[in-house]
Amino acid sequence: MKKIYLHPLPIRIWHWVNALSFLMLIFTGLQIRYRDMMRVMSFETSVDVHNIFGFVLIFNFFIWLLYYVISGKLKIYIPALSPRKFIEGCIRQAIYYGYGIFRGEPNPHHSTPDNKFNPMQQMAYLNIMAMFLPLQLLTGLMMWDIKGFSSWITLAGGIKIVDTVHVLIFLFFSSFLFVHIYLATLGHTATAHIKAMFTGFEEEDEHSH
Amino acid sequence: MFRFKGGQTVGKGTYWNLSNGEGIDMDGKRPLPGGGSVKYLRLPSGGMFVLGPFLGLLFVCLLPLMSLVIALTLLSRVALASDALSSEEAGKCLSCHSSEGMVKTFKNNENVSIHIAKKHFKDTVHGFLSCTDCHADVSLDSHPSAQYKSIRDFAASISRSCRNCHTDDQILAKPMHNQAVSRANAPPCSDCHGSHSIRKSSELKQNASNSQYCLSCHQKQFSVTINGEKVSLSVNEEVLRQSVHSNHDCTDCHSAFSKEAHPVEKFGSRRELSISISGACKGCHQDKHKQLEGSIHFSMLKEGNLKAPVCTDCHGFHNVGRKAILETVAGVPCKKCHENIFEDYKESVHGVAKMSGKNAAPVCSSCHFAHEVKPALISRSPGETCLGCHKKAVDIHSEWLPNAAIHLEAVACTACHVPNAGMRVYLNATDSASGLTASASKVKELLGAGHTALTGRDGIGDRQMWDIYQALTGKGAGMSIQTTLGLRDSGESHHLASKGKAVRQCDNCHNANSEFFKSVAMTVVDNNGREEFYAVKPQVLSSIFALLPLNQFYVMGGTRVKLLDFLGVFMVIAGASFPAAHIMIRILTRRLRSSSKHTGRH
């Protein structure tokens, strides 16, 4: 059994703060949006909690950005610059998830601190971290202070559009969460990746190489 | 001591009969000749001798002087004709009518004093006339009480005598007499000119002010009838004096009239007269009139609605009072027409405060303004009006209400401060340049043949809303749809409750089941700025087709787009089914892997 120090402490803290924030935001978001169907907490409380965790998430996003920019590790999110190489990598990974994994074939991607994500993960997380999450934070911010961001809202096409974007991204995150958690169980044991996110060390089955 | 009567027993002496000058010497106690009416003076002959020259002097000197005075007096009487009261006939009339307290009762039980005093004739121009010249139906021989029904009837009868001397031409030379001659129920002459002390109008003109001149007639009780309506032309001088216009002359407002001119004005109704006179106010109060021109009241007037209020309806005619009076509960003029609303107001937090003596509490004009009264726009939040007094409202709401400023912009204050009122979402067709609700005619013009969608039986649907949006926001149309939340019935906006009773539950609105979203209307205004509503199906609020038309309107938890709900369910199922399917396949292929592992190890 081999141990790789894959997740530095700041990233682990960031991840779990993110995880808690996402869960709280999804829950309070549902409570705000489906007030007529669920009444776990009052509207005021759900809005307040949603706002608090929204700001936690914004703060956390900048922690992430700061860490990756300063450490120079941002490149782990950047897919291979050669489209051919990138597409090949994606196909290889897709074949693994859709076929190889069932045959017990090894994961074609081997995570290292400098190359943490497989090409599909790179594509997904780059979209999430560079587009969906900032957009979600921004639309959330706009709705938090409609008057203050009124010119931005007008530019975006109105509060209804802003809300629709916010909801669409929320739906994407909610459904992605299932995939994310499931994929986290696909380590050499079901809890290997999850443990690693606490300890920082990813255990690898040496036989897989 | 010296005076005696006939028949009286007197002592010795010389007695002079004052009737015929005859002297009688009496010697002893004997009665004087003649009856009691004969008067005697006792004077000794010597005394007579002394008095004689004096009496002669009087006769010679004073008699001519007295004659001269009498002649001159008579001459002046002749010059002014004869003095009625000195005439034989008048003397006879006055022998009774000079008695104070004489009263005549007419058939309708009206009493009139028939006491005639000399002072009544002091300044009369009719001094040369005799009583029966005017009271033609009375003569010395025939003096039965004329059987008049009333004072009015009596005065009218006497007035006919005036026409014996004053010809129609003479009367009509004064325009103000026009109606007096032509109308059957014209006031009798005496209404203006008086009965016995009739003065020359020229005297009045010279000495009186304009107002005094007018009041010389108009302070008397008389009226005209316009189209069957009685209109009093009487003016109470006391009322005038107490008005804020006490320094004005009548002619300042009634500018067509003067001492010289009294034109005949024709009005179709009493109301038309009021409206016409209100036009005079503009002369001084131009600023107020300017404000009025933009008001709903003025628009109604322009439409020919005679019920529309004019200056005098609120301020009165001659009793124009101070502004402060109009701002009291008792003095608010609006209640004359808007009585129900005023009753609601009295029960509101504002009305209760006002009636409890808080003078600063608002009345109608505080919110609606006195002159620039706009049509009530229930679709628009009265926020600006409320914030005029409640300047800290945004700050106070911000203490607990997120996005307080936006709430106060989009939600009518009344929506929360009038508990239990019916709510509605208003989609206002708005002119982008002015920010005001667009006119019905402009909207219909832009919609062309599609304008029938506005008045469809079931209300405007989501696709129709999309078409309307396309038409209103198309190139050159310059419109947008602004959404507001307010009360369904404008009348209810006067039921403002105290702060403690205001709605403070977010759930009231932020809930798809909220009453708010069950009534939706599109709003335009007619040419006078009054709202017209077109029913909109409530489903429009949550339709994907309304994403752009209602892009400025979103109530969290209230108006979510239904399609996103379905999409959300689909995405979550899709997200969950990927792991589920993957796990399923992994279970199914378990043997494959175990054999592969086995192979790998060997």
pLDDT digits (tens, 9 = 90+) for A35-81: 888 889 999 999 999 999 999 999 999 999 999 999 888 888 888 77
Nearest to B201 by CA among B219, B213, B191, B211: B213
Nearest to B551 by CA among B488, B465, B477: B465
Strands (DSSP E) along B108-263, which ranges?
111-113, 223-226, 229-232
Distance CA B159, CA B157 (A): 5
Chain A positions touching B568 (Cβ under 8 A) are 167, 171, 174
Is some CB atom of chain A closer than 8 A to the CB atom of B336? no
For the ranges A159-168, B21-30, B240-249, B438-447, the lowest mean pLDDT is seen at B21-30
Q: Does A160 contact B572 at a Cβ distance shorter than 8 Å?
A: no
User: Which is higher by pLDDT, A88 or B22?
Assistant: A88
> What mean pLDDT value characterizes chain B?
83
Tokens of B64: 């001519």
**A49 membership: H or E segment, kind and range:** helix A43-71
Question: In the prediction, which pLDDT does B574 show?
Answer: 92
Residues 468..527 of B with a Cβ closer than 8 Å to A: which? Answer: 506-507, 510-513
Confidence check: pLDDT of B375 > 80: no
pLDDT confidence bin for B350, thresholds 50/70/90? very high
Q: Does A36 contact B589 at a Cβ distance shorter than 8 Å?
A: no
Nearest to B292 by CA among B274, B277, B308: B308
Confidence check: pLDDT of B365 > 70: yes
Question: In the prediction, which pLDDT does B600 show?
Answer: 43
pLDDT confidence bin for B202, thresholds 50/70/90? low
Nearest to B410 by CA among A157, A151, A146, A46: A146
**B204 membership: H or E segment, kind and range:** helix B201-207
Distance CA B540, CA B534 (A): 13
Tokens of B300: 């109604």
Position B186, amino acid: A
Nearest to B113 by CA among B126, B124, B97, B102: B102
Instruction: Specify whether the CB–CB gap between B273 and B231 falls below 8 A.
Output: yes
Distance CA B288, CA B270 (A): 24
Distance CA A129, CA A76 (A): 12
The CA distance from B586 to the nearest CA of chain A, in Å, is 6
A159-184 vs A9-33: helix crossing angle, rounded to 10 = 130
Tokens of A145: 């202070």
Distance CA A54, CA A22 (A): 9
Residue B155, CB-side half-sphere exposure with 13 Å CA sphere: 18
Question: In the prediction, which pLDDT does A178 show?
Answer: 93
At residue B117, the 3 state secondary structure works out as: coil
pLDDT digits (tens, 9 = 90+) for B123-168: 677 877 878 888 887 877 776 666 788 887 888 888 888 888 888 8
Q: Exposed, middle or buried, B119 (CB in 10 Å: 0-12/13-18/19+)?
A: exposed
Question: In the prediction, which pLDDT does B265 show?
Answer: 80
Question: In the prediction, which pLDDT does A24 show?
Answer: 96
Positive or negative, the CA dihedral A178, A180, A186, A192 is negative
Instruction: Specify whether the CB–CB gap between A130 and A97 falls below 8 A.
Output: no
User: Which is higher by pLDDT, B121 or A4?
Assistant: A4
Question: In the prediction, which pLDDT does A144 show?
Answer: 94
Nearest to B472 by CA among B434, B445, B436: B445
Q: Does B551 contact A161 at a Cβ distance shorter than 8 Å?
A: yes
Confidence check: pLDDT of B179 > 70: no
Question: In the prediction, which pLDDT does B348 show?
Answer: 92
pTM of the model: 0.70
Sole residue written with tokens 């009226």: B223
Residues 40..69 of A with a Cβ closer than 8 Å to B: which? Answer: 42-44, 47, 51
At residue B591, the 3 state secondary structure works out as: helix
Is some CB atom of chain B closer than 8 A to the CB atom of A178? yes
Rounded to an integer, the average pLDDT of A16-33 is 95
Tokens of B168: 């129609």
At residue B16, the 3 state secondary structure works out as: strand
Is some CB atom of chain B closer than 8 A to the CB atom of A104? yes
Confidence check: pLDDT of B84 > 60: no
Instruction: Specify whether the CB–CB gap between B425 and B419 falls below 8 A.
Output: no
Distance CA B529, CA B537 (A): 25
Rounded to an integer, the average pLDDT of B437-453 is 87
Question: In the prediction, which pLDDT does A208 show?
Answer: 46
Tokens of B85: 């009261």
The CA distance from A118 to the nearest CA of chain B, in Å, is 18
Nearest to B578 among A160, A164, A179 (CB): A179
Whole-angstrom distance between the N-terminal and C-terminal Cα of chain A?
11
Rounded to an integer, the average pLDDT of B452-471 is 88
Rounded to an integer, the average pLDDT of B7-31 is 79
Count the Cβ atoms, other than its own, within 10 Å of residue B230: 10
Position B154, amino acid: F
Instruction: Specify whether the CB–CB gap between B200 and B184 falls below 8 A.
Output: no
Distance CA B370, CA B363 (A): 10
Question: In the prediction, which pLDDT does B1 show?
Answer: 64
At residue B555, the 3 state secondary structure works out as: coil
Q: Exposed, middle or buried, B289 (CB in 10 Å: 0-12/13-18/19+)?
A: middle
Q: Does B556 contact A101 at a Cβ distance shorter than 8 Å?
A: no
Confidence check: pLDDT of B279 > 90: no
Nearest to A160 among B553, B597, B600 (CB): B553
pLDDT confidence bin for B256, thresholds 50/70/90? confident
Who's near A142: CB < 8 A, 6+ residues apart?
A149, A152, A153, A156, A159, A162
For the ranges A117-121, B17-21, B412-416, B421-425, the lowest mean pLDDT is seen at B17-21
Distance CA B462, CA B520 (A): 12
At residue B429, the 3 state secondary structure works out as: strand
Q: Which of A22, A31, A32, A33 is the mutation pick for testing B, counting most B CBs within 10 A?
A: A33
Question: In the prediction, which pLDDT does B533 show?
Answer: 92
Domains present along chain A, CATH in parentheses: 2-80+110-204 (1.20.950.20)
Nearest to B403 among A146, A164, A176 (CB): A146
User: Which is higher by pLDDT, B180 or B136?
Assistant: B136
Q: Does A43 contact B567 at a Cβ distance shorter than 8 Å?
A: no
Is some CB atom of chain B closer than 8 A to the CB atom of A175? yes
Instruction: Specify whether the CB–CB gap between A117 and A130 falls below 8 A.
Output: no
Question: In the prediction, which pLDDT does A32 show?
Answer: 93
Question: In the prediction, which pLDDT does B547 show?
Answer: 86
Sole residue written with tokens 């005394």: B47
Instruction: Specify whether the CB–CB gap between B424 and B488 falls below 8 A.
Output: yes
Is some CB atom of chain A closer than 8 A to the CB atom of B585? yes
Instruction: Specify whether the CB–CB gap between B548 and B480 falls below 8 A.
Output: no
Chain B positions touching A179 (Cβ under 8 A) are 575, 578-579
Question: In the prediction, which pLDDT does B144 show?
Answer: 60
Judging by DSSP bridges, how do beta strands B13-17 and B23-26 pair with one another?
antiparallel
Distance CA B83, CA B89 (A): 11
Sole residue written with tokens 């936690």: A56
Confidence check: pLDDT of B67 > 90: no
pLDDT confidence bin for A206, thresholds 50/70/90? low
Instruction: Specify whether the CB–CB gap between B305 and B530 falls below 8 A.
Output: no
The CA distance from A61 to the nearest CA of chain B, in Å, is 24
Please give the angle made by the CA atoms of B506, B507 and B512, to the nearest 5 degrees: 130
Q: What is the dihedral of CA A107, A111, A116, A121, to 10 degrees?
A: 10
